[in-house]
Structure 1
Amino acid sequence: MTDTGTLRLATLVGAVVLALLAGFALGRAVTAPTNIGTRSAAEVDDHLHPPGTEPHLHGGGVNGGAGQVAGLSVSDTGYTLVPQRTQLPAGTQVDLRFQIVDSDQRPVTAFEVVHDKPMHVIVVRRDLTGYQHLHPQMSADGTWTLPLLLADAGTWRLYTDFTIRDTSGQSLALTLGVDLVVAGHYQPGELPAAAGAARVDDFTVTMRGVPQQGAVAPLLFEVARDGQPTPRLEPYLGAYGHLVAVRAGDLGYLHVHPEAELVGGAIKFWLAVPSSGDYRLFLDFQVAGEVRTAEFTVTIR
């Protein structure tokens, strides 16, 4: 090859490299996160590490992640939820026991503490009533014991929300779910209509914002007490609020945690939903040492 040909080839290669570098820089600039408006689902993945310090979603594994529901499977990424029983009596408290086992059927015993607890259990009936947020105790052999009272007959979904270290030493957040059956006459309730405010005891909780598909949008919740000054919200499990969203139909699960500080006195979350449809939102908040749950229906078109 002549010197002229060599020079032309070098010039062409240099131009391609510069173009690739410029495209990479532009992509970084376009996807840089902001503190206003919506966020992409990928940006929310950053909030999974470390847990409890930034607003983030729980789920993880194959069926979880930012903007994707979790809890639809009893097994995920080699880990399985194994309950000792799935049939419970109505109106009687029982000790429900379960383990999380790995792909070799060995019980997992090392769980990370996330929001003050190594295991969060959410229970809700198939008609999206009877919500409970509970915290079982684990024995040395990896068996969790959960005192559980299900008042009404029907099929209930139990979600185990936890974080472990996988075989590579990385944090792995998972939500595994199983159905519990309570025998008796089942009278399903109608899903309440969508509304921007919810009543619980003498509190009114107002929701501002609209969840979106594929983009993480802000949701703010303002808590007021009838005829009294604005109540002082207290941290509960390391945050000013905990938000669980459950999709009607398949009971797909999202567990969202808020920004570390209140925003104008409101609890601020970032939430993405994966599809259109109806969702039931459950907001846990604490005032004067008592935890209450405000419930909302949201319809995504």
Structure 2
Amino acid sequence: MLFTQRSTVRRRGLTAVGFAAVLALGPAACGSSDGSGSDHSMPGMAHGTTRTASASASASPSADSGSGSDPAMGGMPGMDHMTAGNGLADAEDGYRFTGPDAAVGAARPIRYRFAISGPDGKPVTGFALDQTVRMHFYVVRSDLTGFQHVHPTMAEDGTWTADLAALSPGSWRLFASFIPDSGAGKGTDFVLSRTVTVPGAAARTPLPAAARTTEVDGYTVTVDGELMAGMTHLLTVHLTKNGTPVTDLQPYLDTYAHLTAFHEGDTAFAHLHPTTPAVGNHGGPDLSFHAELPASGNWRLFLQFRTAGHLHTAALTLHVA
């Protein structure tokens, strides 16, 4: 794989970002470190594996970091830092994300090691909790038909390790989403990215047409809400199974569902924030998100939710005016 330039995304109080990291690539057995991940066949996922891992991340927790929500944001999980930017750079304001520009064969798991460096050029080792973890790591194929979301682990020296399922031939973008808990970028949500090319014959699959409904693992997911580029709107997701409303959603990352969006063409990143915390194993059938997609066009949405201990990932194309 060849890892190249990626992007920055931040939440409330965007400050300096730019990053330097020391990484190493190697084969690895991919798995969900918390035992909740599973492989699922998703619509439009023909070129990428869909393994999703949910794990606690850092080996060096910060004493003053937490996952509580900001009262100013109405007590919404993940809303204590607002997101901005598009995640398409590998450095900003002194923080840098780097990884090996190494070719990796397709059809085998990957252990990707990377680091985030701060304005002083040293690896950052203190990260705040963001929806129960200290690092969100996304892997997205350039045509948006492959997606992984994992939570890597960090060594004491600041080196992160992300276990990824095999990637099909083609171009992929890797996103590191994190919040420093000290230094110039304290409290700033950064999303930095790099690209990697997996060698081999790469067939590009057209993005599935925009639709309000999709299915995964027997569940029907319906999205409601009219979105306009650059404006914040409420997006509602409704889940049913065999025509019956789903009411047994289990907590996942401090809420009942995690929703991420990527823009067709440039793979720009957007995180959509849930509006209600998870309390007990009885979430659903309606889930609400604050959505602000900065550009018009098609966005590929990936919704992750858990039932009966299994993590499901639904993919859907949404058009934004």
- TM-score of the superposition, structure 1-length normalised? 0.76
- Matched residue of 1:218: which SS? strand
- Aligned pair count? 250
* 1:227 CA drift (Å): 5.2
Distance 2:176 2:185 in 1: 21
Q: Distance in 1 between matches of 2:12 and 2:256?
A: 21
Q: Give how far 1:298 is off.
A: 1.2
**Aligned: 1:103 with 2:119:** yes
Query: What secondary structure does 2:166 align onto?
Result: coil
Deviation at 1:261, TM superposition (A): 4.5
Structure with greater proportional helix content: 1
Residue 274 of structure 1, aligned match among 283, 294, 306: 294
Q: Which residue of 2 aligns with 1:253?
A: 269
In 2, Cα distance between the equivalents of 1:264 and 1:251?
Answer: 29
Q: In the superposition, relative to structure 1, how do residues 161 and 233 fare at CA in structure 2: closer, same or farther (>3 Å)?
A: same
Unaligned runs of 5+ in 1: 1-43
Q: Distance in 2 between matches of 1:87 and 1:57?
A: 38
Structure 2 residue ranges without an equivalent (≥5):
1-10, 14-64, 70-75
1:56 touches 1:256 (CA, 8 Å); kept in 2?
no
Tell me what 1:201 maps to.
Answer: 217
Contact 2:134 2:178 in 1 (8 A): yes
> Does structure 1 residue 174 correspond to structure 2 residue 190?
yes
Aligned AA (2:231): A
Check conservation: 1:216, 1:272, Cα contact below 8 A: yes
Determine if contact 1:85/1:96 at 8 Å carries over to the other structure.
Answer: no
Residues 84 and 130 of structure 1: is their aligned pair in 2 closer, same or farther, counting only changes over 3 Å? same
**Pairing of 1:45-194 with structure 2 (within 5 A):** 45=12, 53=69, 54=76, 66=83, 68-168=84-184, 170-194=186-210
Aligned to 1:37: none
Question: What's the offset of the Cα at 1:264?
Answer: 7.1
Q: Going by fraction, where is strand more abundant, 1 or 2?
A: 1
Q: Counterparts of 2:139 and 2:219 in 1: how far apart (Å)?
A: 23
Letter aligned with residue 91 of structure 2: S
What is aligned with 1:291?
A: 311
Deviations 1:6-45 (A, max 9, x none): xxxxxxxxxxxxxxxxxxxxxxxxxxxxxxxxxxxxxx95
| Deviant stretches of 4+, over 6 Å | none
Q: Which amino acid aligns with 1:186?
A: A
Q: CA deviation at 1:105?
A: 2.1
Q: Secondary structure at the match of 2:189?
A: strand
**For 1:249 and 1:55, how far apart are their aligned partners in 2?**
30
Provide the rounded CA distance (Å) in 1 between the counterparts of 2:296 and 2:86. Answer: 16
> Deviation digits for residues 101-123 of structure 1, max 9, x if unmatched?
12332111111111111111011
Q: How does 1:25-36 map to 2 (within 5 A)?
A: none
SS of the residue aligned with 2:179? strand
Kindly, what percent of the aligned residue pairs are identical?
35
After TM superposition, give the deviation of residue 177 of structure 1 in Å.
Answer: 0.2
The residue type equivalent to 1:251 in the other structure is: T
Bigger radius of gyration: 1
Q: Which amino acid aligns with 2:145?
A: T
What SS is found at the alignment partner of 1:233?
A: coil
User: How far 1:198 moved relative to its partner?
Assistant: 0.7
The DSSP-based 3-state class of the residue aligned with 1:188 is coil
